[in-house]
Amino acid sequence: MSAAELFELFTHCMMLSLLAIGGAIATLPELQRFAVVQHGWLSEADFTASVALAQAAPGPNLLIVPVVGYSAGGLLGAFAALAGMLLPSTALTLVVTRWGTRRRDTRGVRSFVCGMAPVTLGLLLATGWLLAVPVVQQPAAVLLILATIALMLKTRISPMWPIAAGAVVGALGWA
């Protein structure tokens, strides 16, 4: 990656950090569009593999961003993406948390918090859709996705069990 491309990745991640309602994973559709569709830095398969690698590693969902940055531009790409994702959201969080803590019982703050729930849900659904697109042609994968959704809605079972089932299905080559 050239210096101009690294700067573009950095500034795009800065913008995404301010949209990361629900966590960095909620920005995946836009990060995929930017890195894969718009710039061609990664193929669709490389992007999906980067996301899978980041999700398999222990730690926060934020690991997705530097892994995608690394896949696109090596260590400098990872640093540019991570710094861009962390700087604005961290500064904004510090300011808003201090302000909101003093005003948490006001009607406006309570309304804002309640209004963010559907936004977060929508972003997470868009991310889930993006990650499911490569496998929806396989009936076993679709069945696993639907079973996981039903299980999560109807029970309090740990999400680790459906994830483990997906790993077994994938390892056996069924999906």
Mean pLDDT on 165-173: 83
* Spacing of C-alpha 86 from chain mean position: 14
- pLDDT given for residue 129 in this prediction: 83
What confidence category does residue 41 fall into, taking pLDDT thresholds of 50, 70 and 90?
Answer: very high
57: left (phi over 0), alpha (psi -120 to 50) or beta: beta
Q: What is the pLDDT of residue 138?
A: 81
Please state the rounded mean pLDDT for residues 125-150: 82
pLDDT tens-digit series, residues 46-92: 998 888 888 888 888 888 899 999 999 999 999 999 999 999 988 98
Contact yes or no for 42/34 (Cβ under 8 A): no
94-100-102 Cα angle (round to 5):
110
Q: Is a pLDDT exceeding 80 seen at residue 168? A: yes
